[in-house]
């Protein structure tokens, strides 16, 4: 049996530990592992090679993906999918594992419908916004990168008696911002999922300033589009000099945490079990309530991820 793995869409820490586990686990199972470089573009361009142990040595602690990634428009044209299929056919590869998001899963689902190439998608995005799974690979590392940044920015905020508005990534999902605000002691959190009341927030913070508060931390999700407004609000309404710090792509990188290394291996092992034991696979592996399961791509694509109600309830005190 020949199985290939590749990474697609945005990178995240945890991808390299997953790739390492894939290669080593395949050899233990007498499966021949293949690596596809440059995502869907590499599938089209035949950037495919048989994996050796040397390909995955010294990568477990590295962020990003040694296989590199891409966002491919060509793959959505039938002629290029035919080209990709012929590349796999020459190497007798009939099963794939993809580390990516729902866009990558939909692309491979189309490929499955065209040619019957089985695949399992491993949810891998720091946004943690894939429907059907509580956790996506890379989220814990991203949260720790954000935590370190907030802790260091707090030092400057306190030194200069300033308010800092720290913007996290996450597209339209406020998970990173909310969890970071709750675990880093922020005074304000603005996310798309929660209504906010600047008047009530202002009354609380002005009272705290009168009682001695001389700095504040606000965490905003990029999907809220509120960073500039909150910066101005701090200065005009609260009376604190303010700065914005958009953390940007540093959140995608960094040495994978222990949790991301471990769950990466668990995702891959469960995916290999499924591909080895059953046919007609075009599923995503999901992690819910502490266990792994599989769900069809249509369900993943049609659903909308929602943050757990308990987390939202905890966050209400930071937005009103």
Kindly state the average pLDDT of the residues 215-233: 98
Q: Which residues contact 21 (CB under 8 A, 6 or more apart)?
A: 264, 265, 268, 269
Residues of the chain with CATH 3.40.50.460: 141-252
Residues of the chain with CATH 3.40.50.450: 2-138+256-302
Which CATH number fits the domain 2-138+256-302, given the four candidates 3.40.1010.20, 3.40.50.2000, 3.40.50.450, 3.30.420.10? 3.40.50.450
Kindly state the average pLDDT of the residues 208-213: 95
Q: What is the 8-class DSSP label of residue 257?
A: P
Kindly state the average pLDDT of the residues 41-53: 98
Residue 281's pLDDT band (cuts 50, 70, 90): very high
Q: How far apart are CA 82 and CA 85, in angstroms?
A: 5
Residue 164's pLDDT band (cuts 50, 70, 90): very high
User: What pairs with residue 99 in β-bridges?
Assistant: 7, 122
Is 127 marked active-site? yes
Please report the pLDDT score of residue 103 as a whole number: 94
Please report the pLDDT score of residue 306 as a whole number: 96
* pTM of the shown model: 0.96
- In angstroms, the Cα distances linking 21 to 192, 262, 265 are 36, 10, 6
- In angstroms, the Cα distances linking 216 to 150, 184, 227, 280 are 11, 12, 14, 54
> What pLDDT digit, counting tens, does each position of 9-32 carry?
999 999 999 999 999 999 999 999
Kindly state the average pLDDT of the residues 191-206: 97
The catalytic position among 11, 118, 127, 260 is 127
Please report the pLDDT score of residue 124 as a whole number: 98
Number of H helices, E strands in the chain: 11, 11
Kindly state the average pLDDT of the residues 85-99: 98
Please report the pLDDT score of residue 89 as a whole number: 98
Looking at the chain, the whole-number percentage of residues with pLDDT higher than 70 is 100
Tokens 């935590």 sit on residue:
147
Kindly state the average pLDDT of the residues 67-79: 96
Q: How far apart are CA 295 and CA 132, in angstroms?
A: 8
Fold assignment, 141-252: Rossmann fold (3.40.50)
> What pLDDT digit, counting tens, does each position of 95-138 carry?
999 999 999 999 999 999 999 999 999 999 999 999 999 999 99
Please report the pLDDT score of residue 45 as a whole number: 98
Count Cβ atoms below 10 Å from residue 166 Cβ, excluding itself.
25
Please report the pLDDT score of residue 60 as a whole number: 98
Residue 254's pLDDT band (cuts 50, 70, 90): very high
């Amino acid at each position: 049996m020949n199985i290939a793995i590749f990474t697609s869409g945005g990178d995240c820490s945890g991808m390299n530990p997953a790739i390492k586990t894939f290669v080593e686990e395949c050899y233990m199972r007498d499966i021949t592992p293949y690596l596809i470089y440059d995502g869907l573009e590499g599938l089209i361009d035949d950037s495919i090679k048989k994996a050796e142990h040397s390909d995955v040595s010294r990568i477990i602690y590295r962020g990003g993906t040694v296989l590199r990634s891409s966002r491919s428009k060509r793959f959505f044209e039938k002629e290029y999918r035919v080209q990709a299929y012929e590349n796999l056919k020459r190497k007798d590869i009939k099963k794939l594992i993809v580390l990516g998001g729902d866009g990558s899963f939909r692309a491979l689902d189309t490929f499955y419908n065209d040619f019957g190439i089985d695949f399992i998608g491993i949810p891998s995005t720091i946004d943690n916004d894939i429907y059907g799974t509580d956790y996506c690979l890379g989220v814990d590392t991203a949260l720790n990168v954000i935590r370190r940044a907030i802790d260091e920015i707090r030092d400057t905020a306190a030194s200069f008696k300033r308010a800092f508005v720290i913007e996290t990534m996450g597209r339209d999902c406020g998970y990173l911002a909310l969890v970071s605000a709750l675990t880093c002691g922020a005074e304000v959190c603005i996310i798309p999922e929660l209504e906010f009341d600047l008047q009530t927030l202002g009354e609380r913070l002005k009272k705290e300033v009168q009682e001695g508060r001389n700095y504040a931390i606000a965490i905003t999700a990029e999907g809220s589009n509120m960073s500039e407004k909150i910066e101005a609000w701090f200065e005009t309404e609260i009376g604190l000099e303010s700065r914005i710090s958009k953390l940007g792509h540093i959140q995608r990188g960094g040495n994978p945490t222990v949790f991301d290394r471990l769950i990466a291996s668990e995702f891959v092992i469960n995916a290999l079990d499924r591909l080895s034991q059953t046919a007609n696979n075009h599923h995503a592996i999901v992690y819910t309530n502490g266990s792994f399961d599989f769900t069809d791509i249509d369900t993943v694509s049609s659903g909308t991820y929602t943050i757990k109600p308990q987390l939202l309830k905890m966050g209400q005190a930071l937005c009103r």
